[in-house]
Chains A and B, each alone.
Chain A
Amino acid sequence: MPLVRLELRNEYGLGDPELYRGGFRKEEPKAILDGVAVSGLVGILRQLGDLAEFAADVFHDLHEQITATAVRGRQMMTRVQNIESTVPSIEKAFGKQTSYVHFAYVAGSDWHARIRDEQSIVLSTELPRFMMDSYEECRDPPRLFLLDKFDHAGTGACLKRYSDPPYFKRVWTASQMENSENFQKEKKVHKTKRKGSRPRHGEVKHAVYISHHDSSGIRFASPSIDGQRFSAVNVSSPDMRLNLEFLSRSTSFASKTRENYAEQTSYVNPQGVPDDLDYSEVPNPNLHSKDSHLSVPVLHDEPSADGLYNVAQHDLPQEQSVPRSSSVTWDEKLEIVKPTSPVSYNDILVDRVQDLENVISVQDSEPLQVNFKTENVEHAKIEALNQEDILCHIGKTSVPVSGVSHFDEVSSETDNYVDAPNTLDSESETEAGCHTKSEVQILSNFSSQGMEPRTEMRQVIAVQSSEPSDVEAHNSSHSSLSQDVTPRFLHLSSLNGSEHVQSPYATEFLQKQEQTVVDDFCERNAPNISETKFHAYECIDSVLSPISGTFSSPTMMLAETRCEGSILKPDPLADVSGVPSIKLWTNGGLFGVEPSKPPELGSVNTQNAPCMQNEPTSVDANSQGKVAGEPTNLDSSVQSNSTEDQFFARGYNTVQKFKGSPSCHDNQHVYNVKQDSNVSAEPFLQRKFEHNSEDTDVSNYASSDKLDMTRNSASSGAPLTDIYCTGSRQNGPSQSTVGISSSFSELAQRFLANTIHREASLSTPSGNINTEIRKPKGATSCLHDDIEVSNEVASQRTDEQSTNKKVAHVPAKEPVSFTSYYHEQSSPPLEYMKISSHPMNGLDNSKLKLDFSGGNLHENSEDATFPSFQLHHGPVDNLPVVLSESDDDTFHRSCPYSSEELLSPRSYTSSEQWEQEGRSEYVDHELNDVPYRFQSSTTSISRSMGFEQMNHSSISKPDGLEKFDAIIDSSKVPSQSVSAMELPGLDSVLSVKNQQERKFPSLRENPANVEVQSTNELPPPPPLPPMQWRTFKLSIKLDDNDPNISSNLNHLDELQPLRCPSQIKEQYLPGSPFVNEPISPHSDKIQDQLKLNWEKRSTRSVSHKEVDRREDLLDQIRNKSFNLRRAKISMPRDIPRPKTSITNANVAAILEKASAIRQAFVGSDKGGDDDNWTDA
């Protein structure tokens, strides 16, 4: 409602209103006009007064505001002048200063601007005047307070009952309270849901633990130089993370990678958040605070450089001592963290300890110390890691170790891995955002890494093992540095959440690596390492992307190799003889070889940008490329390490961005990272153990590598954990499936879980499509194998996936099929109806067709609900038959009637009756089409009967008087029958007239009375009669006015042919008035009367002489056989025809009518319309 600032009243309204109320009518008109003019002028004056007032208000307000602003300006001027006065002295003092360095150490002022409290912006006192006027003008509430003494509620209760302004405030507060309560309840519900979903995570974890335990055992058995491999893995994981776009752009590694990462992170957010409410709840500050609180004291207790080691040792006993129940509690607390960290960390912890010891012993303590200092600075992250380790250890201890064979698990996992890429592909196809795919691919890479060492990666390992010293040196240095860098990155990521900040750290890390390598291991391949690291450094500086690091210098693969990756793949396959090995290889290619991924992805991108499915092939190609670029393996590894760190930071950033809860995510990430490190380390160790004959220093290397891996893996695992967390949280069933398919590598399980989750969530087409897509891309046996495996896996997928797919597909298909079915059914009916109706109408006119079309449409609408519309056909079919002969003109006359009748049962009955009548009507139809229209207008039997009766009456009475009487009767009793009301004109009139004849025979006996009635009571019948009937009515009037009957007879003769069929029909109608008269006794009478009427009619028609209508009336009334007369009269309608034919027709008609009367009498008992007649 707009507020009225000012109401400018009409100038005449401002004058004397009495002028316009007729108060001055007695005055002279001229004086009145002058008065009106003067009042108008007065109104104008008042308008001017209003204008002046309004202008005064406006300018007053403006004046006030301008004065206020002027005051402010003056105050400002004074303040500026004050500052101007003081500034020169300060400038002088400042200019006198020789050194300005000490200004940097000046504390400054603690002043803070006092932001005005924006409360009470709207005050009642600030209301504009035009609004205040309304308040001022309003009246006070009634003095109800006088009744307070009678009210027990207290003072003001009565007035409150009348008006309670604070009521709205109270209601608002109550509603707010309810909302807050509801919100709290929802929170609780969400928490409970999360708890409910937790068991699934536990299952997944269980499976993962089992697999991990096996892998861990193998890992222990095999000391490894995992550092290199692990670094490569880490590098690959971020690479996999990269989007297709990123890969396509991989030629330019510089800033695009960052952008891609940023994009990935940005993409991740929308997906993860909506998918899992539980996940969104995860960032609960309480959980985070708990975790951080627990972790922080440990770090604080051991802030020294050996803090991590001590923490690890400290954690071990805790883990061992902690029972399973404790793990459950941790699960409850961490909820999401646990599922993401299925790895058993006992081994990791042990490895860490060993690695730390080795590193400390082998390497100089300085870099490590520095690193640990940095760690202390950023201890929170490390603490989180430690806590996570503890948790993981607990989980592992609680979970029984499964003695499943490693290879069997590997095979099963390979299938799962194959599924994973398929799912990734499907996801890539479905989802526009590729970050999820990349994440899944990363997971797959990790899992595949575990698979790779057995197969073709051995070659790479062997090549790497040829230079163990370098590797060791690098690993050692990298381990220490990686520890430093990773926490930094974590810290930076947590603080800034931007990759740019990380870049300097990465460079520093590389430099440190170089230094450490050079210092510690100058004996060995120091130059090579330094060079490699330098390359890595450059790569990192330039790109800060693992892809760039891997491809830039060491591997020599670059973008060229990317396209070649697919070609390189078959070679490793050829190397691997066993089919399962092929599977492994495929899996490993899919997931394991990380550095190769970027080129593959690039190639894939070039081939199919939207599809990330080429990753496995690309991975294989990369691994081969590494093999080919043997001399640069170390470099690649080093670079991969560095890149891993960077990726870790990035992944961490992404995780933060993704989840929006940095604290919880940090913990989860660290935890996941540890898991990843274990997983990744295991395959590497296995590889080394199998292939490295030169590993005398393997133990040391392994230890150092483990450290690196733990740290690097933490960095690399961040994204994975993110993905995994999302997947596990999102898909409970997927987790269960993962638990079922427990494999040796946790990453594989994670990947499976993710993949399953992806599939379930996306419910995209299964791997078949993916395989198809891959085939054209990969064009290699490896790819085909992968595809096959993926297909198998797709078939072997758990019920959850199938159910999900079903759910996804069924609803989609069912509605479609249903609609299609419906469409099929519905559409044919329409056509069918048309077809059927048209043949039925074929006999009829186009009018009938039209009528049918209407009916068809209506039926079609009904068919929409009932596919079996054929039920409607019956009536439709019947109708055309009836209509073809009788109802042609009904449509003419009143389309709505006809259309309605067709569908209504009434029409049916009428049609039946018409059929009954049809036998006799056929002859008449041919002759009389015009009168048929009138009959056709009758929609019901009653109408037809009335109409017939009318005809009979009119015919039976040779004079127009009868009709006149009928009209009079109709006017008297316009609504005796529904049919009369419905039918326009003649039907009602005549039917009523017949009734009246029965009711008032005396009137008939006395035509004079009838005439009087006609004169007095001649209001037209309610329905508009047709023109013919109007003319007829006129004739009747003429009859009334002028006793000359000849004119009436002429009119009647003109009208009779129109009525003829109706008369004939009426004879057959069951509802005929014969009901009142028993047939048997009156049959003779009827016939006699018919003859009489016919004779009269014939004589009248032939000679056109006057007939004593009164006598006829009397006769009719006496005999009560007007029906018969009507029947007879029907024949005279044919009078215009030759007499011979008329006589024959009359004879035939009489005979038929006699039989019809019998039928009608029999049917009259049934017809409901007879009641009207009997009543009449």
Chain B
Amino acid sequence: MARAGGMTNAVNVGIAVQADWENREFIANISLNIRRLFDFLLQFEATTKGKLAALNEKLDVLEHRLQVLEVQVSSVTTNPSVFN
């Protein structure tokens, strides 16, 4: 682009076309990298959300167990006559 922009009107069309191709290549490379960034973001989101889901499942299990434990403890604490 810079080269193409710097060219004067005297430059023939062939040089201009060559510069245009170079500019297009440059733009295409940038665009490709942007697409890769998108892909990375998507994969990152998928993996992180998957792991978070697994973590949430484990937390669910732990919560259920904790709930049972709490109930057991509460049953014991609320009914002290058991130990008497």
Contacts and interface: CB of A to CB of B under 8 A. Distances in A.
Interface of A: 5-6, 8, 10-12, 28-30, 33-34, 36-38, 40-41, 43-44, 47-48, 51, 54-55, 58, 61-62, 65-66, 69, 72-73, 76, 79-80, 82-83, 86-87, 89-90, 93-94, 96-97, 103, 106, 108-109, 111, 113
Contacts of A48: 34
26 contacts: A6-B38, A8-B35, A8-B38, A10-B31, A11-B27, A11-B28, A11-B30, A12-B27, A30-B4, A30-B7, A33-B16, A34-B1, A47-B31, A51-B37, A55-B41, A58-B41, A58-B44, A62-B52, A65-B52, A69-B52, A69-B59, A79-B66, A90-B73, A90-B76, A90-B77, A109-B71
A87 B30 CA distance: 62
Contacts of A54: 38, 41
A36 B59 CA distance: 55
A61 B49 CA distance: 9
B28 to A, nearest CB: 8
B11 to A, nearest CB: 7
A38 B59 CA distance: 52
A520 B12 CA distance: 128
Interface string B50-84: 00100110010011101111111111110110110
Contacts of A83: 66, 69-70, 73
A113 B67 contact: yes
A93 B75 CA distance: 14
Given A37-B20, A61-B49, A83-B66, 8 more contacts: A5-B42, A10-B31, A34-B5, A37-B24, A43-B27, A55-B41, A69-B55, A108-B75
B27 A28 contact: no
Given A30-B9, A65-B49, A90-B77, A51 B23 contact: no
- Secondary structure call for the A interface: helix
Contacts of B35: 8
A577 B45 CA distance: 91
Contact of B62 (A11, A76, A103, A106): A76
A72 B41 contact: no
A686 B72 CA distance: 67
Contacts of A36: 20, 23-24
B80 A51 contact: no
A42 to B, nearest CB: 10
Nearest to A55: B41
Contacts of B55: 69
Nearest to B40: A55
A40 B83 contact: no
Nearest to A94: B83
Contact of A58 (B9, B45, B63, B67): B45
Given A37-B23, A109-B72, A30 B34 contact: no
A261 B80 CA distance: 51
B37 A79 contact: no
A1145 B27 CA distance: 87
Given A69-B52, A73-B59, A82-B70, A109 B44 contact: no
B73 A34 contact: no
6 pairs of A and B residues whose beta carbons are closest in the complex: A40-B27, A37-B23, A109-B75, A33-B20, A93-B83, A58-B45
B70 A79 contact: yes
A97 B81 CA distance: 12
B49 to A, nearest CB: 7
Contact of B63 (A6, A41, A72): A72
B49 A44 contact: no
Given A40-B23, A40-B27, A108-B75, A51 B83 contact: no
A38 B8 CA distance: 17
- Tell which of A40, A55, A73, A76 has the most Cβ of chain B within 10 Å: A40
Given A76-B62, A109-B75, A66 B52 contact: yes
B13 to A, nearest CB: 6
Contacts of B37: 51, 55
B34 A28 contact: no
Contacts of B38: 6, 8, 51, 54
Contacts of B49: 61-62, 65
A76 B66 contact: yes
A66 B80 CA distance: 40
A111 B13 contact: no
Contact of A8 (B7, B27, B28, B34): B34
Contacts of B73: 83, 86-87, 90
